Structure 1
Amino acid sequence: MSHHDKIKEHMEVIGADGVHVGTVDGVEGDRIKLTKKDSGAQVEGATGEHEGHHHYISMGLVAGVEGDQVRLSATGANAQTFEEEGGE
Protein backbone atom coordinates (compact mmCIF):
# COMPACT_ATOMS: atom_id res chain seq x y z
CA MET A 1 0.00 0.00 0.00
CA SER A 2 1.33 3.40 -0.99
CA HIS A 3 1.48 6.18 1.58
CA HIS A 4 2.78 8.80 -0.89
CA ASP A 5 -0.48 10.72 -1.18
CA LYS A 6 -1.06 10.84 2.60
CA ILE A 7 2.33 12.28 3.58
CA LYS A 8 2.34 16.07 3.75
CA GLU A 9 4.84 18.79 4.66
CA HIS A 10 5.33 19.44 8.40
CA MET A 11 4.11 15.97 9.50
CA GLU A 12 6.13 14.42 12.31
CA VAL A 13 8.07 11.24 11.49
CA ILE A 14 8.28 8.84 14.43
CA GLY A 15 9.89 5.47 14.92
CA ALA A 16 7.99 2.32 15.89
CA ASP A 17 9.02 3.12 19.48
CA GLY A 18 7.41 6.59 19.37
CA VAL A 19 10.75 8.44 19.15
CA HIS A 20 10.83 11.60 17.00
CA VAL A 21 12.92 10.96 13.87
CA GLY A 22 12.23 14.12 11.91
CA THR A 23 9.75 16.45 10.26
CA VAL A 24 8.59 16.04 6.67
CA ASP A 25 9.90 18.69 4.29
CA GLY A 26 8.41 16.87 1.30
CA VAL A 27 8.29 13.63 -0.66
CA GLU A 28 10.78 13.13 -3.47
CA GLY A 29 10.28 9.96 -5.47
CA ASP A 30 10.32 7.02 -3.09
CA ARG A 31 11.88 8.98 -0.21
CA ILE A 32 10.69 11.33 2.52
CA LYS A 33 12.80 14.48 2.70
CA LEU A 34 13.31 15.62 6.30
CA THR A 35 13.73 19.26 7.27
CA LYS A 36 17.27 20.49 7.83
CA LYS A 37 16.54 21.32 11.47
CA ASP A 38 16.06 17.59 12.12
CA SER A 39 19.31 16.56 10.45
CA GLY A 40 20.78 15.66 13.83
CA ALA A 41 17.60 13.84 14.90
CA GLN A 42 17.02 13.79 18.63
CA VAL A 43 17.71 10.09 18.95
CA GLU A 44 19.64 8.91 21.98
CA GLY A 45 23.33 8.76 21.08
CA ALA A 46 22.88 10.73 17.86
CA THR A 47 25.34 13.44 16.95
CA GLY A 48 24.81 16.58 14.92
CA GLU A 49 27.72 15.98 12.59
CA HIS A 50 25.42 15.88 9.57
CA GLU A 51 23.49 18.95 10.62
CA GLY A 52 22.81 21.50 7.93
CA HIS A 53 21.64 19.34 5.06
CA HIS A 54 18.56 17.31 4.28
CA HIS A 55 18.27 13.67 5.17
CA TYR A 56 15.92 11.23 3.52
CA ILE A 57 13.97 8.19 4.72
CA SER A 58 12.90 5.46 2.31
CA MET A 59 9.15 5.08 1.82
CA GLY A 60 9.79 1.37 2.39
CA LEU A 61 10.18 2.13 6.12
CA VAL A 62 6.72 3.71 6.42
CA ALA A 63 4.36 1.49 8.41
CA GLY A 64 1.45 3.93 8.34
CA VAL A 65 0.18 7.48 8.41
CA GLU A 66 -2.01 8.43 11.37
CA GLY A 67 -3.30 11.98 11.77
CA ASP A 68 -0.28 14.29 11.46
CA GLN A 69 2.30 11.55 12.06
CA VAL A 70 4.23 9.22 9.79
CA ARG A 71 4.96 6.04 11.73
CA LEU A 72 7.97 3.97 10.67
CA SER A 73 8.41 0.21 10.96
CA ALA A 74 11.88 0.74 12.47
CA THR A 75 12.68 2.22 15.88
CA GLY A 76 13.94 5.81 15.99
CA ALA A 77 17.57 4.72 16.46
CA ASN A 78 17.36 2.14 13.68
CA ALA A 79 15.63 4.53 11.30
CA GLN A 80 18.50 6.98 11.67
CA THR A 81 20.93 4.32 10.40
CA PHE A 82 18.82 4.06 7.23
CA GLU A 83 18.81 7.83 6.58
CA GLU A 84 20.40 9.00 3.38
CA GLU A 85 21.97 12.41 2.88
CA GLY A 86 21.00 14.77 0.10
CA GLY A 87 23.40 16.29 -2.36
CA GLU A 88 23.29 19.82 -0.96
Structure 2
Amino acid sequence: MTDVSRIREHMEVIGADGVHVGTVDRVEGDHIKLTRKDSGEGSHKGHHHTVPLALVADIEGDRVRLSANADVAVTFEQEADRSA
Protein backbone atom coordinates (compact mmCIF):
# COMPACT_ATOMS: atom_id res chain seq x y z
CA MET A 1 0.00 0.00 0.00
CA THR A 2 1.20 3.51 -0.84
CA ASP A 3 2.08 5.85 2.02
CA VAL A 4 -0.56 8.55 1.41
CA SER A 5 0.97 10.69 4.18
CA ARG A 6 3.54 11.67 1.51
CA ILE A 7 0.86 13.53 -0.49
CA ARG A 8 1.50 17.28 -0.34
CA GLU A 9 -0.14 20.47 -1.55
CA HIS A 10 0.42 21.33 -5.23
CA MET A 11 1.33 17.77 -6.28
CA GLU A 12 -0.07 16.81 -9.66
CA VAL A 13 -2.68 14.03 -9.68
CA ILE A 14 -2.52 11.86 -12.80
CA GLY A 15 -4.41 8.83 -13.99
CA ALA A 16 -2.79 5.46 -14.63
CA ASP A 17 -2.54 6.62 -18.26
CA GLY A 18 -0.46 9.68 -17.25
CA VAL A 19 -3.24 12.17 -18.03
CA HIS A 20 -3.69 15.15 -15.67
CA VAL A 21 -6.66 14.77 -13.29
CA GLY A 22 -6.00 17.69 -10.96
CA THR A 23 -3.71 19.35 -8.45
CA VAL A 24 -3.70 18.55 -4.74
CA ASP A 25 -5.14 21.27 -2.52
CA ARG A 26 -4.97 19.04 0.57
CA VAL A 27 -5.89 15.62 1.97
CA GLU A 28 -9.15 15.54 3.91
CA GLY A 29 -10.06 12.31 5.61
CA ASP A 30 -10.07 9.58 2.97
CA HIS A 31 -10.08 11.93 -0.04
CA ILE A 32 -7.70 14.20 -1.94
CA LYS A 33 -9.21 17.64 -2.32
CA LEU A 34 -8.27 19.12 -5.71
CA THR A 35 -7.68 22.81 -6.34
CA ARG A 36 -10.54 24.85 -7.75
CA LYS A 37 -8.62 25.56 -10.95
CA ASP A 38 -9.11 21.88 -11.85
CA SER A 39 -12.83 21.97 -11.17
CA GLY A 40 -14.14 21.54 -14.70
CA GLU A 41 -16.62 23.61 -16.62
CA GLY A 42 -20.20 24.78 -16.32
CA SER A 43 -21.87 24.34 -12.93
CA HIS A 44 -18.78 22.54 -11.62
CA LYS A 45 -16.45 25.48 -12.29
CA GLY A 46 -15.07 27.11 -9.15
CA HIS A 47 -15.88 24.22 -6.80
CA HIS A 48 -13.42 21.90 -5.13
CA HIS A 49 -13.65 18.24 -6.12
CA THR A 50 -12.25 15.24 -4.30
CA VAL A 51 -10.79 11.91 -5.34
CA PRO A 52 -10.82 8.89 -2.98
CA LEU A 53 -7.43 7.95 -1.49
CA ALA A 54 -8.34 4.36 -2.35
CA LEU A 55 -7.51 5.21 -5.98
CA VAL A 56 -3.90 6.17 -5.18
CA ALA A 57 -1.56 3.63 -6.75
CA ASP A 58 1.79 5.34 -6.26
CA ILE A 59 3.56 8.59 -5.45
CA GLU A 60 6.25 9.39 -8.01
CA GLY A 61 8.26 12.49 -7.11
CA ASP A 62 5.76 15.36 -7.21
CA ARG A 63 2.99 13.29 -8.82
CA VAL A 64 0.23 11.19 -7.34
CA ARG A 65 -0.59 8.36 -9.75
CA LEU A 66 -4.05 6.84 -9.55
CA SER A 67 -4.92 3.22 -10.26
CA ALA A 68 -7.57 4.25 -12.80
CA ASN A 69 -7.15 6.07 -16.10
CA ALA A 70 -8.00 9.78 -15.92
CA ASP A 71 -11.32 9.44 -17.77
CA VAL A 72 -12.44 6.80 -15.26
CA ALA A 73 -10.97 8.54 -12.21
CA VAL A 74 -13.04 11.68 -12.81
CA THR A 75 -16.20 9.57 -12.52
CA PHE A 76 -15.17 8.91 -8.90
CA GLU A 77 -14.77 12.63 -8.17
CA GLN A 78 -17.15 14.18 -5.70
CA GLU A 79 -17.99 17.84 -5.36
CA ALA A 80 -16.77 19.09 -2.00
CA ASP A 81 -18.82 21.26 0.35
CA ARG A 82 -18.97 24.81 -1.02
CA SER A 83 -18.26 26.33 2.40
CA ALA A 84 -14.75 24.87 2.48
Q: TM-score band (shorter)?
A: over 0.9
Unaligned residue ranges in structure 2 (runs of 5+):
none
Q: Percent identity?
A: 64
Task: Give the distance between the partners of 1:57 and 1:28, measured in 2 at CA.
Answer: 10
Q: CA RMSD in A?
A: 0.8
Deviations along 1:32-55, whole A, 9 cap, x unmatched? 000000011xxxxxxx12111100
Normalization by structure 2: what TM-score? 0.93
Instruction: Decide which structure has greater helix share.
Output: 2
Normalization by structure 1: what TM-score? 0.88
The 8 Å contact of residues 19 and 69 in structure 2, kept in 1 or not, is answered as yes
The structure 1 segments of at least 4 consecutive aligned residues displaced by more than 6 Å after TM superposition are none
The 8 Å contact of residues 14 and 20 in structure 2, kept in 1 or not, is answered as yes
Unaligned residue ranges in structure 1 (runs of 5+):
41-47
Match of 2:28 in 1: 28
Match of 2:76 in 1: 82
